[in-house]
Amino acid sequence: MIPSETPTLSLDEQICFALYSASRSITSRYRELLDPLGLTYPQYLVFVVLWHEGALSVSQLGERLALDSGTLSPLLRRLEKSGLIARERGTADERVVMVSLTPSGSDLRAEAAGIPAAICASTGLQLPELQALTQQLASLTDHVRSTPPRSTPARSTSLRSAP
């Protein structure tokens, strides 16, 4: 559904800016909570998936986190070097690399147990409100990913440098 009125270009009315600003704020709060554990936010996300789903292939993990292998591989290499995960080639197919938690990686779960509640508290929202918002954002993401981009109207002048 496309609104009938022309959207404004005001920064504060742009959904992209609202999402960007919220993401930066929440990621910053995660950073504060994760620093004592020696984890970055993307590393934490890897652990959240592995704690919940168990061992996965690198490609499954990348798909689950929406990360490409160029981003994921160095991240996994650092976690393996830290002794928190193990990567092993598959026996049936050596092209498949499985990622699993080491005992130290599993133990980290107890240290990170309070993070979701701290994030929830920092939002000022109650759990049902956060769950509803999370569902709305997942639906928004799915819709944007599955909808082909519309062409934008031609501009009379270009913002890029003139030839």
**59-100 residue pLDDT tens:** 999 999 999 989 999 999 999 999 999 999 978 888 899 999
Measured CA distances, 141 to 11, 66, 111 (Å): 21, 11, 31
Mean pLDDT, range 25-53, rounded to an integer: 97
* C-alpha 151: how far from chain center: 28
Domains recognised in the chain with CATH numbers: 12-125 (1.10.10.10)
pLDDT interval class at 127 (50, 70, 90)? very high
Task: Please state whether 108 falls in left (phi above 0), alpha (psi between -120 and 50) or beta.
Answer: alpha
Segment 130-151 shows an average pLDDT of: 92
**pLDDT tens, residue by residue, 6-28:** 666 899 889 999 999 999 999 99
pLDDT at 135 (0 to 100)? 97
Mean pLDDT of the chain: 90
DSSP 152: P
Is it the case that residue 2 has pLDDT exceeding 70? no
What's residue 91's pLDDT?
A: 80
3-state secondary structure of 86: strand
pLDDT in the model for residue 155? 62
Give the number of other CB atoms < 10 A from CB of residue 72. Answer: 18
What does the alpha-carbon distance between residue 86 and residue 48 come to, in Å, rounded to a whole number? 16
Instruction: Output the pLDDT for position 81.
Output: 97
The residues, any chain, with a CB within 8 Å of residue 29's CB and separated by 6 or more, are: 118, 119, 122
**94-122 tens-digit pLDDT:** 889 999 999 999 999 999 999 999 999 99
